[in-house]
Structure 1
Amino acid sequence: MNKALLYTIVCLLCISCAKQTETTSFDEKGQETIRTVARLTVETVKIDSAIFQKQIIANGIVEALQKSELRFKISERIANIRIKNGAFVHKGTLLASLDNEVLKNLLEKAQIDLEKAKRNFIEEKINYGFAGVENDKIDPVKLKYMYLRSGYTEAKNTLESAQIRYNQTLLKAPFSGVIANLESKTGDFVTSGDIFCTIINRKQLEVSFSVLENEIPFLEIDQKIAVTSFVNDEMNYEGMITEINPLVDKNGLVKVKGTIQKSDTSLFDGMHVKILIYKPLNNFLVIPREAVVFREDKEIVFTSKNGKAKWNYVEILDENSKSYALQKGLKYGDTIIVAGNMNLSHDAKISPVFRSKKEENLR
């Protein structure tokens, strides 16, 4: 690019960022002269905040509060599968069944034997002179004896045993949730130790994360947290700390858990998320991050005074994503420059414009 053209562009940019003011003076002969002085337009705010939001950032993992690996209790071939991965099922829904024809026949036989025993029991009541008498009005010892003689007690126990064995061929959802990790197919032989699938309740999620031991004093039970997905920054959720493990590991970290409020289907068990924790701290001089510039590896904040920019060395005590907490260098009531300060110098002439509180909150 032509050097002259480049110089012209730079000059135009500088002029656009400056406000021209005219000053009148008189020369030695008393003739009036006009001198133009460039004043940079800057945005300013007044320091009036004494509450600093201490911010702790951590990486966490989403975990389901209700999560269960489902297994059949006996070994047999799979006869039917009624679900697939990602399917939502209600509590008690039949998920799959094993080959159970033999057990089904035994269950039906046990039901028939119990019916026979009931008829025998009625005959026993007639023989003992208790026809038409309610069972709870018969002497318990005699009632038990009639149950045994009729075969009712044995038939009832046999039916209950057959029912239990038959139910072990049916796999039902222990709670409402989403199916995951289903890999078996109809006809596969499974044993009692094989995991058939996993069911996850995605409406009750928690997040597990670790913080440095020196950050523990800023945490407490029921403290609010913000959870953000790495997949989509717009996926933000509120949470609350529920557990702080009272143990520091070899890396100097402490494990913390918190519930996620109003979670939705966008969050998956095992998903990595970012955790933000805020703790308000009083009696701190707080300034916006954009107010700080660097000169020779030192932090500088420009203040506005009588139309000039004054630079001030500051010491930063703490920081968050929006603000700095200062240890020294400024005082309450100072007017600091928060925009247009990148190329300022000490005593540079400026035209300050106050930034409104509404604008400040939007940043």
Structure 2
Amino acid sequence: MYLRRISAVMLVLTAFCLSGISYSQEKEEVSVPVKVAPVQRGEIAQELSLTADVGPQSSVTIVPKVGGILEEIRVELGDGVKKGQVIAKIEDREYSLGVKQAEAAFSAAETQWNLVKATAETEFLSNLKQVEAALKMAQANLDKIRKGARKEEIERADAAYKQALENAEAMQKDLNRARDNYEKGAISDQQFDRAELQFKVAQAGLQSARANLDLTKKGAREEDVKVVEAQVEQTQAQLKTLESFKEAKSWEAKIKGAEAGAQQAEVALGLAKIRLDDCTTKAPISGMISKRFVDVGAMVGPTQPLVSVVDVDTVKLLTHVNDEDIDLVKSAQRVAVKVDTYLDKVFEVKEINISPAMDPLSRKIEVEIKISNPDYLMKPGMFPRIRLLVQRNNTLLIPKEAVMEKDGRKEVFVVRDARVHLSRISIGLEKDDLVEIMSGLKEGETVVVAGQPSLKDGDKVIIEEGDEG
């Protein structure tokens, strides 16, 4: 009996060991059961709820460019205006007189310029010849006093003196007359300078003739000779200076100076006309009058606003969003706007502008959304609730439960030939239980939607019946 029990135990142990060896040698790979869904095309929509401030497309506060009494204002609060339309007028009597004064000054400067152009060179050459003649006379006088005078020379000297005296007296009268006319504004600076120069030349000639006569009569003394020699040297120096001016064409500088004066007067005339035009204030933009600050009769100036104009054909919705919502904002095609019971309407988005910087206090980014406002329902200053609406058609979609996240990356298991392959993806819109695939998957592929925790890349899977498709 005992021996039979031992034999039975040995048989059981032997059978167990043999079966274990057989199992480890013949063991097959286990297929993990999973649920799957196809990658397919469809439509998806997502929205972002925010609050916003309504602002105009543009806003301008209009101030006059010149000061004066407001003579006319042609707009009222709420009026529509077009760019270039006359808004207001300032009394322009003084500015009109300023234009006339500038016109007269320009005319005089232009006349002076033309006169200088016509006479400057001739006048210079005439003066040069006069100095050359004066030098010859001084040299002749010097020769005479050195040689002594004859009777006929004394007579000639006396005649020359009388002629010089008459000439000097005539030049004195001309100078007095020119001075009177100049003080009355009847002649130009150029004309007065010419009269004064001719008088000085006549006086020099008279002095020279008188000295010549005296010397001729008395005979030369040593000091007289030195005086005449000094006159000769002085005249020679003057002639040398004029000859250098001739070589440099100094009269051209005089012409350029007169031309510059005419140009300056022309600029002053232009500025006077601009100030006159500035008495009429025009709208710089098209829009509506949002404020009117003054009435007719008020004294206004460049620091006093007249009216404000806003362009509300297009308005801006100013809001702030988190950085993770920026991509969604960029894709917004429409915006739903709600202002209590006053307004609840969807608008097409015209333009979206996004600040490149984040507000350091709110840690949000400023966004400007432009929409058309044809019925002027949107008013600057409103504070509506808005929903940014994004919709895409015929885009790749998968169930949201297929997406896994690891180290900030989005991944899915793709089933191919009964095995799973880990694929990195990027997603777009999300709505309910669907997500949009931007990259990483193709239409028709199959992704695991249940059973992912027990999977690793390359595992063999079995799809539970009734799940695919």
Q: TM-score range by the shorter chain?
A: 0.5 to 0.7
Q: Matched residues in 1 for 2:252 and 2:95: separation?
A: 34
Superimposed CA distance per residue, residues 330-355 of structure 1 (whole angstroms, 9 cap, x where no aligned partner): xx9xxxxxxxxxxxxxxxxxxxxxxx
Show the counterpart of 2:432.
324
Larger Rg: 1 or 2? 2
Q: Shift in Å at residue 96 of structure 1?
A: 1.1
| Displacement of 1:217 | 4.7
CA drift at 1:245: 4.5
Aligned equivalent of 2:333, options 219, 224, 229 = 224
CA contact (8 A) 2:68 2:91 kept: yes
Which one of 94, 101, 119 corresponds to residue 109 of structure 1? 101
Deviation, structure 1 residue 110: 1.2
In the other structure, the counterpart of 1:342 is: none
Separation (CA, whole Å) in 1 of partners of 2:254 and 2:389: 71
Q: Is the 8 A contact 2:70 2:295 kept in 1?
A: yes
Residue 92 (1) aligns with residue 92 (2):
no
Displacement of 1:285 = 4.2
Partner of 2:318, secondary structure, is: strand
Q: Tell me by how many angstroms 1:284 deviates.
A: 4.6
Partner of 2:256: 144
Residue 218 of structure 2 corresponds to which residue in structure 1? none
Q: Distance in 2 between matches of 1:235 and 1:183?
A: 36
In structure 2, the CA distance between the partners of 1:201 and 1:141, relative to structure 1 (3 Å rule), is: farther
Structure 1 residues 64 and 140 mapped into 2: Cα distance closer, same or farther (>3 Å)? farther
> By percentage of residues, which structure has more strand?
1
Stretches of structure 1 lacking an aligned partner (at least 5 in a row)? 1-47, 130-138, 287-318, 333-363
Task: Please give the per-residue CA displacement for 1:311-339, whole angstroms capped at 9, x wherever unaligned.
Answer: xxxxxxxx99xx73379xxxx9xxxxxxx
Rounded Cα–Cα distance in structure 1 between residues aligned with 2:270 and 2:276: 10
Cα RMSD over matched residues?
3.7
Cα deviation 1:31-85 (Å, max 9, x = unaligned): xxxxxxxxxxxxxxxxx98654221022222323322111124443311112222
> Who is 2:288 aligned against?
178
Matched positions, count? 235
In the alignment, structure 2 segments of 5+ residues that lack a partner are: 1-39, 122-250, 401-428, 436-445, 447-469
Counterparts of 2:362 and 2:396 in 1: how far apart (Å)? 31
How many angstroms apart in 1 are the aligned matches of 2:252 and 2:374? 57
SS at match of 1:233: strand
Opposite residue 228 of structure 1, the aligned amino acid is V
Partner SS state of residue 343, structure 2 = coil
- Aligned CA distance change for structure 1 residues 252 and 155 (closer, same or farther; 3 Å): closer
Distance 1:225 1:246, change over 3 A: farther
What is the identity percentage for the equivalent residue pairs of Structure 1 and Structure 2? 16
Superposition map of 1:230-249 within 5 A: 230=339, 231-234=342-345, 236-249=347-360
Superposed counterparts of 1:121-270, under 5 Å: 121-127=113-119, 144-148=256-260, 151-220=261-330, 223-228=332-337, 230=339, 231-234=342-345, 236-260=347-371, 262-266=372-376, 267-270=378-381
In 2 relative to 1, CA 208–49 (structure 1 residues): closer, same or farther, beyond 3 Å?
Answer: same
Secondary structure of the structure 2 residue equivalent to 1:68: strand
- Residue 167 (structure 1) shift: 4.1
User: Contact 1:81 / 1:97 at 8 angstroms: preserved in 2?
Assistant: yes
Asked whether the 8 Å contact 2:64–2:278 carries over to 1, the reply is yes
**When the two structures are superposed, what TM-score results if normalisation uses the length of structure 2?**
0.42
**TM-score w.r.t. length of structure 1:** 0.53
The CA distance in 2 between the partners of 1:263 and 1:90, in whole Å, is 17
How big is each residue's C-alpha offset from its partner over 1:96-135, in whole Å with a ceiling of 9 and x where there is no partner? 1223322221122212332343344444444469xxxxxx
Q: Which amino acid aligns with 1:256?
A: V
Could you tell me how far 1:141 is from its partner in structure 2?
6.1
Amino acid at match of 1:255: E
The answer to whether the Cα contact below 8 Å between 2:88 and 2:280 also exists between their aligned partners in 1 is: yes
Instruction: Return closer, same or farther for 1:219/1:209 CA change in 2, 3 Å cut-off.
Output: same
Q: In 2, are the aligned partners of 1:52 and 1:282 still within 8 Å (CA)?
A: no
Q: Counterparts of 1:49 and 1:157 in 2: how far apart (Å)?
A: 72
1-structure distance, mates of 2:375, 2:262: 52
Tell me: CA distance 1:257–1:141, structure 2 relative to 1, closer, same or farther (3 Å): farther
Q: Which amino acid aligns with 1:82?
A: R
For 2:109 and 2:267, the matched residues in 1 are separated by 12
AA partner of residue 302 (structure 2): S
Contact 1:52–1:325 (CA under 8 A) maintained in structure 2: no
Tell me: CA distance 1:154–1:49, structure 2 relative to 1, closer, same or farther (3 Å). closer
